[in-house]
Amino acid sequence: MSHDTNNSGETTDAAGENAGVRARLKAFGPSRMQVELGGIAATALLAVAMIAFISLDWLRGAPAWLGVAAPAEFLFGQFLIVGMWMDFYLGTNIFQHPFMWRAIATGVLIGIVAPLVGTYLVHRQMALIGETLAHTAFAGVAIGLIFVAFAEGSALLAHVSNRGALILIAMVVSALGAIGLQWLTAKTNTYGDVPIAIVLSGSFAVGTLLISWGRERVSMAIDIEDFLFGSLTIVTVEGARMVAVLTVIVVAVIAMTYKQLLFITFDEQAARVARLNVDGYNTLLIVMTAVVVVGAMQILGVILVAAMLVLPVATASQIAKSFRETLYLSVLFGQTAVIGGLAFAIWASLPPGGSIVVVAIGFYLLAIVLSDRSGASLSMH
């Protein structure tokens, strides 16, 4: 008996010692929240650097009397020098070119705003909204192509490139389509996904008809496949600038309306009882989704753009313990997928859209394998 008692005591002591070691390691090592906040801070710094690049790219063409063109040109050149050193060490010949920095900057910013908006969509079971608005954006691209074809060489496009005008028109059409979808959902008594299916198929049908009609009547110099599958070369100065402005606006709006959108996401009926403007916030969310979709379309393409709204959020949901942590992790996973996907696309000379989505799917599958979650509830905090 004494021998068994001694073994039991030794086991208890060993367990206590192991627990003490884990406690000491936890005390000295960074906590999970500290790691996440560190990642968010690094992402924010990267985003600020990319917005700075886009701003310098814009300001170097400013009128001489403003006195900012020369300093902006100098600082813009420093980005290209950094790119030359990157090319030297990596053995590439791409980072010294402005178009590549524009594409990287656009991808980095999309990797932030798409998961932010997507977090609310996924938790409201509105993941198909992104796909629907992507098809609406395709109709916008078709309208933009016809407009550019007819207006090419006119005063209407004197201060903007063809692709820049096309992106702007697609953004307006997509936002109007989002408002129309919201109105159709509110006015019909059909099942919830019926208006979504109608707008999804109808907008794509309109887009295909317009492109077929336009090709028979005017010359279209822009390749529609770039917008369907994404391309690094279609990111224009105007397109990158619009994404930068939208990033600032979307992040600011979500920061200011975080509590209201959270309330509506988890209990819309209670929000209505509390006299919150639910319809207004729903419209705000869906319009933000529309403009984010058009911005991301430049890199990901119409067909794959909705994945960026869903995959990082789905990955984060496998690990996060609260809604706020889901926001943080979805941004980190989205950013990692964009950077990893762009690196793979550049290395393998493949389309960026498919590369980013494949990397994002890889993270999602890895999260499922490593996660021990089995239907655990998510805290609203």
* Per-residue pLDDT at 164 exceeds 50: yes
Rounded-to-integer distance, Cα 228 and Cα 297, Å: 8
The two structure tokens encoding residue 228:
């369907």
SS3 content of the chain, % helix, strand, coil (to 5): 80, 0, 20
Coil, strand or helix at 322: strand
Domain boundaries of the chain, sorted by first residue = 32-370
291 contacts: CB under 8 Å, gap ≥ 6: 171, 174, 175, 246, 250
Looking at this protein, which amino acid is placed at residue 279?
A: D
Exposed e or buried b per residue across 101-133, where buried means at least 16 C-beta atoms within 10 angstroms of its C-beta? bbbbbbbbbbbbbbbbbbbbbbbbebbbbbbbb
* H or E stretch at 178: helix 162-187
* Per-residue pLDDT at 84 exceeds 60: yes
Q: What is the DSSP string of 305-319?
A: TTHHHHHHHHHHHTT
Residue 256 contacts residue 249 (beta carbons within 8 Å): no
Q: Give bridge partners of residue 322 from the DSSP assignment.
A: 379
> Is residue 67 packed enough to be buried (19+ CB in 10 Å), middle (13-18) or exposed (0-12)?
exposed
The pLDDT score that the predictor gives to residue 161 is 58
Closest CA to 258 of 279, 288, 281, 280: 281
Residue 28: pLDDT band with limits 50, 70, 90:
low
Q: Give bridge partners of residue 341 from the DSSP assignment.
A: none
Rounded-to-integer distance, Cα 302 and Cα 133, Å: 9
Quote the Cα angle for 35-36-39, to 5°: 90
Q: What is the average pLDDT score of the chain?
A: 80
Per-residue model confidence as pLDDT tens digits over 274-303: 888 888 888 888 888 888 888 888 788 777
The pLDDT score that the predictor gives to residue 378 is 58
Per-residue model confidence as pLDDT tens digits over 192-215: 577 778 888 888 888 888 878 777
* Per-residue pLDDT at 375 exceeds 50: no
Give the DSSP letter of residue 277.
Answer: -
Looking at this protein, which amino acid is placed at residue 246?
A: L
* Per-residue pLDDT at 93 exceeds 60: yes
353 contacts: CB under 8 Å, gap ≥ 6: 229, 230, 299, 300, 301, 303, 304, 305
The two structure tokens encoding residue 343:
């690196």
Per-residue model confidence as pLDDT tens digits over 313-322: 999 999 888 8
CATH class given for the domain over 32-370: mainly alpha
Quote the Cα angle for 221-227-228, to 5°: 120
Coil, strand or helix at 379: strand
Rg from Cα positions in the chain: 24
The two structure tokens encoding residue 336:
């990692």
Residue 261 contacts residue 374 (beta carbons within 8 Å): no
The pLDDT score that the predictor gives to residue 29 is 53
The pLDDT score that the predictor gives to residue 365 is 93
Rounding to the nearest 10 degrees, give the CA dihedral for residues 99, 101, 102, 105.
Answer: 160
